Amino acid sequence: MKFDTPAGRNPIDAQTVVGKPHDRIDGPLKVTGKATYAHEWHDATPSAPAYGVVVGAGIATGTVTRMELDAARRSPGVLAIVTADTAGPLHPVKRNAAPLLGGPKVHHYHQALAVVVAETFEQARAAAGQIRIRYAPQRGHFDLADAKQAGASLQTPEPDARVGDFEKAFSQAAVALDATYHTPDQSHAMMEPHATMAAWEGDQLTVWTSNQMIDWGRTDLARTLGIAKDKVRLVSPYIGGGFGGKLFLRSDALLAALAARAAKRPVKVALQRPLIANNTTHRPATLQRIRLGATPEGSLTAIGHESWSGNLPGGSPEEAVQQTRLLYAGPNRLAALRLATLDLPEGNAMRAPGETPGLMALEIAMDEMAIKLGLDPIEFRIRNDTQVDPSNPERPFSQRQLVQCLRTGAERFGWQRRSATPGTVRDGRWLVGMGVAAGFRNNLVMKSGARVRLAADGQVTVETDMTDIGTGSYTIIGQTAAEMLGVPLQQVTVKLGDSRYPVAAGSGGQWGANSSTAGVYAACMALRTKVAQALGMDPAAAQFEAGKVTAGGRSRALADAAQAGELVAEDSIEFDTLQEKYQQSTFAAHFVEVGVDVASGESRIRRMLAVCAAGRILNPKTARSQVIGAMTMGIGAALSEELVVDRRLGFFVNHDLAGYEVPVHADVPHQEVVFLDESDAVSSPMKAKGVGELGLCGVSAAVANAVYNATGIRVRDYPLTLDKLLAGLPDIA
């Protein structure tokens, strides 16, 4: 099914199941331990699995001169050791910046150099500790600020985006701001590690893994191994969090496959926690310069946003300027990216890549500019709203309710009680402040397919390789099929995460929910036609409701259509040119109240509110969970999260959950989420958009702005740790 015209009225609009707050249908499996995660496939193969432990590089760049393996080979229980010398030919793929198995060249710290396979995990770990590796290290580049200052290795990965004459407008602006902000490297820090079990049956490979994008993983694993794609099956029905860190093929899957081939039996590999930070991907650090120029009345005349980030050769930049191209009006604009070559582990997508770090800077800058102008921060944003793409005014937004988000949030949060003078509100030992920030995330869509079955008993089964990373995919896909076929949700079985099913959008980029349910919509439309024809009815006139099909004055049970045999339909949704005609985005307003200890500088979040405009909300209950989880991540990014770089040896020092500090329950206050009534007919037949990444975009800036309002101290260097506040706090007796 092609989606090339805005959706008219369709079966989803009935909203008897879709749009309602259903519990997650996979919830009982998760709380009873019956949902099988990647490392828990104990009886999926005839023979018991062996265990592999990965050995990571002890340098950031250089070469391996010698690997001493004999002691490890003699260790009890060892079945095989795989290195680059014994793995056979491995082919690079575009989605990996560096080889997943290194040697003799080392591209980054903790790059996998070997996997040791033994009968038990403990034996494999002990043997891995017996391997001695000799290196010839090389001098690396690990500091983004140094690279920016030197300038020699900086690349321009895409042409600067210019509208009007930014430099002239900025120089002539009545009120101007020129500030630089820093966001640090960050880890996905999911609870479930990257893990895989692999098994070969002849030349057929099956991997049970934790991966957000089934088809990407299957394709790249086949390409890396140099085998046909149809020889690889990838299974990932339950994923314990990914946040973008499991979008791509990583070393656990490749090394499990290589280890299983070498050991001639199934092998499980789970990356050790330090390797999740250093071996897999992370959100790269940024340095961002923002220049704003405005009239005395607060209309922006010049908007400039430049961002510097670093990556391995072949890696991509952190696109921190993308929201600035679209969020606020202004006739003269500059958006520019610079990419430095660094010898740190690969930087890549992490929840809301681009917009998250970009808004961490832009929305502080907007706060600073509002103060310079003597305007309320909400009023300043409203004055610079736009209903069209600022660089192409003939291209309108399909839906844009940013102003409504801000006004609704201000009323619900009690913004009128905020003191405009920083540092003037006290609650005992706490300085109290409020902050606001706009949230923005583009609405992305992707081709997505599904297969739907109708059995003689009326049971409906949906099959698609879509994944569920704790986001509620099972439930909203079930809701979609139930709505389309007029049956209760309990009558729908949803099967996900297997490459034997039709290729779906996968979980990433905030495209998953809208695209995958639209694919189920397409398959259900095809099945509705088959059902109507089987019942001798006009498909265009048939109504599906309460387990019955009605048309032309006749009514039959849905199950009657399958009495001669199961009916099966398969289709996909393909998106055409509407993205070119309309700018499709999601919007939010984030409000935060903080308390800052007047003596220690400790910051505590007191309450939070997110008001979101994100198309039709398919399931308000699971969508709320998405947003409060994102808000919690925003607390961490604002106050504690930072991968600390050892600038001598080129690795992330705090590479475990003891040193990389994420928010815990005690850090999370009352959180409120409001969804504005919206349906976007330009987005998809579902009239929905994504919301899971929008909930993070802008949160950290709202925290930073609240800290400023509480203390009068402006911090432009994340995270806002107490050492950055202490010197500016008032003297106390």
613: which residues sit within 8 A by CB, 6+ positions away?
A: 399, 400, 401, 402, 404, 405, 586, 587, 588, 675, 676, 678
Do 536 and 406 lie in one domain? The reply is no
Closest by CA to 433, choosing from 600, 606, 671, is 606
Which neighbouring-strand residues pair with 573? 448
pLDDT at 733: 47
pLDDT digits (tens, 9 = 90+) for 594-611: 999 999 999 999 999 999
Domain-embedded: residue 253:
no
The answer to whether residue 301 sits within a structural domain is no
- H/E run at residue 630: helix 620-639
Mean pLDDT of 541-558: 97
Residue 173 lies in a domain: no
Q: Of 463, 483, 642, 693, which residue is the catalytic one?
A: 693
Q: Estimate to the nearest angstrom the gap between the alpha carbon of 686 and the chain centroid.
A: 21
Q: Report the pLDDT averaged over residues 676-702.
A: 98
Q: Tell me the chain's radius of gyration from C-alpha atoms.
A: 27
pLDDT(85) > 70? yes
Task: Please say which residue of 530, 551, 578 terminates a domain.
Answer: 578
Residue 199 falls inside a structural domain: no
> Do 545 and 565 have their domain in common?
yes
Question: Is position 588 within any domain?
Answer: yes
Is the model's pLDDT at 331 over the cut of 50? yes
98, 250, 275, 430 from 254: Cα distances, Å = 13, 7, 15, 51
Last residue of a domain, one of 519, 548, 578: 578
**What is the percent of the chain with per-residue pLDDT over 90, rounded to a whole number?**
98
In terms of domains, do 505 and 437 share one? Answer: no
The per-residue pLDDT of the chain, averaged, comes to 97
Q: How many domains does the chain have?
A: 2
Q: What is the pLDDT of residue 445?
A: 97
User: Residue 37: exposed, middle, or buried by beta-carbon count in 10 A (0-12, 13-18, 19+)?
Assistant: middle
Cβ proximity of 669 and 639 under 8 Å:
no
DSSP string, 457-478: TS-EEEE-----SSS-HHHHHH
- Is residue 152 predicted with pLDDT exceeding 80? no
Q: Are residues 402 and 489 in the same domain?
A: no
Q: Which two tokens stand for residue 194?
A: 């990257």
Q: Is residue 76 part of a domain?
A: no
Element (H, E) at 118: strand 112-118
> What is the three-state SS of 352-417?
CCCHHHHHHHHHHHHHHHHHHHCCCHHHHHHHCCCCEECCEEEEEECCCCHHHHHHHHHHHHCHHH
Task: Collapse the DSSP code of 456 into the 3-class scheme (helix H, G, I; strand E, B; otherwise coil) and give the result.
Answer: coil
In a domain, 325, yes or no: no
pLDDT above 70 covers what percent of the chain? Answer: 100
Can you give the pLDDT at residue 145? 97
462 and 552 in a single domain? The answer is yes
Q: Quick check: 133 pLDDT over 70?
A: yes
| Residue 554 and residue 650 in one domain | no
Classify residue 546: in a domain, yes or no.
Answer: yes
Give the pLDDT confidence of 410-466 residue by residue, as tens digits. Answer: 999 999 999 999 999 999 999 999 999 999 999 999 999 999 999 999 999 999 999
pLDDT-derived band at 153, boundaries 50, 70, 90: confident
Residue 88 has pLDDT above 50, yes or no: yes
Torsional sign, CA 241, 60, 93, 335: positive
Same domain, 422 and 450: no
Contact yes or no for 97/314 (Cβ under 8 A): yes
Query: Is 693 assigned a catalytic role?
Result: yes
Residue 717, SS3?
Answer: strand
User: HSE-up of 270 (CA within 13 Å, CB side)?
Assistant: 16
Residues 651 and 686 placed together within one structural domain of the fold: yes
Supply the pLDDT for residue 732: 74
CA separation for the pair 156, 625 (Å, rounded)? 38
Where residue 633 sits, what CATH number does that domain have? 3.30.365.10
Assess whether 574 and 654 both reside in one domain: no
Task: Please indicate, yes or no, whether residues 426 and 494 belong to a single structural domain of this protein.
Answer: no
Residue 242: how many CB atoms within 10 A of its CB? Answer: 25
Beta pairing class for 332-341 and 161-163: antiparallel
Using CA atoms, how far apart are residues 214 and 208, in angstroms rounded to an integer? 11
Q: Cβ(376)–Cβ(420) under 8 Å?
A: yes
CB 327 within 8 A of CB 585: no
Domain C-terminal end among 578, 600, 623: 578
Q: Could you tell me the sign of the dihedral formed by the alpha carbons of 375, 378, 379, 383, in that order?
A: positive
Can you give the residue range of the structural domain that contains 567? 2-35+445-578
Amino acid at 426: R
Specify whether 556 is located in the same domain as 470.
yes
Based on the fold, state whether residues 414 and 358 are members of the same structural domain: yes
- On the question of pLDDT at 662 being above 70, the answer is yes
- What's the pLDDT score for residue 221? 98
